[in-house]
Structure 1
């Protein structure tokens, strides 16, 4: 499966939103508490479009013949805000390619991510290390992780 990585644009908002919300069962408490609705509202196409347009966010997508295969977003150049790959496209280097592109264009050598529990091994392969144990906030279960590039 071939793919290209490019900056996301406003026209990608619906597809990005659908990709991310499709993974919600991996990063929300089961069952999700009422306060998770606040978080889920940040994943709508309109909210996604607002972030794509905001100067403080950078979104990149991996696009194949059948649409968006993956997405990464950095906030403030160092917070890995989103990294999701379509399940049918796992194991093809898409997440790593998105990470390398975002990292190289960020201008930063230190990054943080609040990783879902199933994504921890992926981030560890990228060089992230856990900074604390599992946390829960607004129905999200995550582990804070950090990446520091050795110079």
Structure 2
């Protein structure tokens, strides 16, 4: 499987939203209650993603075989806001490769992430370390972590 990376653009917002929503349903959703579902689904609406892509956030997509978006990562400064891989490709190395790609852009920086419960093991394996206890905010459950890139 050939994977390439490129900057995400506003025209990608709908495909990114679809990718994230499927990954959410397949892994994160069981950890959130009704409020968390609503909060998260509002955050990944195509128009909301497009607005963030128009702002100062930096975002990239992982492309398989030159066409299909199979991964997405978004940075707001030194905070990894989102990192998602198509549900059926999780545990195939796409997330690891996407994170390694991001390291180029933040080399030497301390990068934070709010890891969802189903992603804790991934971030720990990649070298992130918890900076606090599990938290609940607007129905979203996460563990704050950070790592020096």
TM-score range (shorter-chain normalised) is 0.7 to 0.9
Matched, 1:18 2:18: yes
Gaps of 5+ in 2: none
Counterpart position of 2:86? 86
Gaps of 5+ in 1: none
Counterpart position of 1:60? 60
Q: Please list every run of at least 4 consecutive aligned residues from structure 1 whose deviation after the TM superposition is greater than 4 angstroms.
A: 28-31
Counterpart position of 2:145? 145
Aligned residues: 147
Which of 90-99 and 24-33 deviates more? 24-33
Alignment of 1:64-79 (within 5 A): 64-65=64-65, 67-76=68-77, 78-79=78-79
Query: How far does the alpha carbon of each residue in 1:35-77 deviate from its partner, in whole angstroms, 9 at most, with x for none?
Result: 652442121000001111112x11111001351111111011x
- Within 1, Cα distance between the matches of 2:31 and 2:95? 26
Seen in structure 2, the aligned counterparts of structure 1 residues 136 and 11 have a Cα distance that, compared at 3 Å, is same
| TM superposition shift of 1:104 | 1.0
| TM superposition shift of 1:29 | 6.3
Which of 103-112 and 22-31 deviates more? 22-31
Q: CA RMSD in A?
A: 2.0
1:4–1:64 Cα contact (<8 Å) kept: yes
Q: What is the TM-score when the length of structure 1 is the normalising length?
A: 0.86
